[in-house]
Structure 1
């Protein structure tokens, strides 16, 4: 999987569940049991990530629609949760829908990183200098702009969270759509 793919967050979540949750033969487990019991049949880090993502979407829908009734329950399939969120919140104003879309997009980036697709960050311009030199920093779990002109006065490279990259992406996308109409 490379950054050139066209997977949306729901497809990435489905791929995580179908291809990355169960370890393949010869794969080393993240958490090792020191007992005589066999290892876990799933990758716990992937499971935890999926559970956290779905929980965040359900909590977001609940908080955005707290004054609305009836509220349909979330779908049983994890990958269907994004469509459910969009349907539950389609009555909201444009600003709240943009915030919702940024959460969905950020989760798509997170899914890509969990799958090892660190190039998913590359097609985004830096929110500060608008150059195309963003990379993922595993140690800090942030996005870093490699443009030296974007660094601060002490020479520290500019860093961004995935949420900031997603918010910038969705705002740019919505701005282009508004200008096109």
Structure 2
């Protein structure tokens, strides 16, 4: 396992553990509005968006690990160890499966950071289009936005990138550096 994958797995696991805290599970306080209908039923006492994200993350990791290694052991009780469990259970997989795993771990790391409000994590990646280090998180579009004036779409809009695309680029770049170092 490459050092970059271990670091990404550790960071993603730590963020996942933070997201699983009971304090974050409660619904956020509603924003006061001038006119709104009075609720006839109490709101759900659970932040369903966060719950859905955690459930999707765990199922994505478990499904891939069990597809690659049907003899994978039970999931860890601590969500912070989920990515270590995944790496341990897919360490004998072929190179393509390991690259897929590393890409998902990196994407999850970025998703967890955004969810925790650490949008500056996106800025630590170069733009896939122009290679400059001018990315910014666009919360409205839910994508990374390149601030370089010359990095535009054919329609003239600023280039935007998904977290998945940034993750693929980082894993490819790390593999290229690893190959060239030997």
Structure 1's 171 and 20: CA in aligned 2 closer, same or farther, altered over 3 A? Answer: farther
Q: Find the counterpart in structure 1 of residue 170 from structure 2.
A: 169
CA distance in 1, matches of 2:55, 2:180: 38
Say yes or no: does 1:44 pair with 2:45: no
Following TM superposition, the consecutive aligned residue runs of length 4 or more in structure 1 with deviations greater than 3 angstroms are 35-39
Give the total of aligned pairs. Answer: 168
Structure 1's 78 and 29: CA in aligned 2 closer, same or farther, altered over 3 A? Answer: farther
1:80-133 deviation per Cα after TM superposition (whole angstroms, max 9, x unaligned): 211111011100122321111010110011011111111110000011211011
Q: Find the counterpart in structure 2 of residue 56 from structure 1.
A: 60
Structure 1's 110 and 20: CA in aligned 2 closer, same or farther, altered over 3 A? Answer: farther
Structure having the larger proportion of residues in helix: 2
Q: Secondary structure at the match of 1:48?
A: helix
CA distance in 2, matches of 1:38, 1:159: 35
Q: Secondary structure at the match of 1:53?
A: helix
TM-align CA RMSD: 2.4
Q: Find the counterpart in structure 1 of residue 179 from structure 2.
A: 178
Q: Find the counterpart in structure 2 of residue 76 from structure 1.
A: 77
Given the two structures, how large is their TM-score scaled by the length of structure 2? 0.81
CA distance in 2, matches of 1:93, 1:48: 30
Q: Which runs of 5+ in 2 are unaligned?
A: 1-7, 32-37
Structure 1's 38 and 165: CA in aligned 2 closer, same or farther, altered over 3 A? Answer: closer
CA contact (8 A) 2:62 2:86 kept: yes
Structure 1's 76 and 131: CA in aligned 2 closer, same or farther, altered over 3 A? Answer: same
CA distance in 2, matches of 1:152, 1:174: 28
Q: Which runs of 5+ in 1 are unaligned?
A: 1-5
Q: Find the counterpart in structure 2 of residue 9 from structure 1.
A: 12
Q: Find the counterpart in structure 1 of residue 35 from structure 2.
A: none
Q: Find the counterpart in structure 1 of residue 39 from structure 2.
A: 34
Q: Find the counterpart in structure 2 of residue 3 from structure 1.
A: none
Structure 1's 29 and 110: CA in aligned 2 closer, same or farther, altered over 3 A? Answer: farther
Q: Find the counterpart in structure 1 of residue 150 from structure 2.
A: 149
Q: Find the counterpart in structure 1 of residue 109 from structure 2.
A: 108
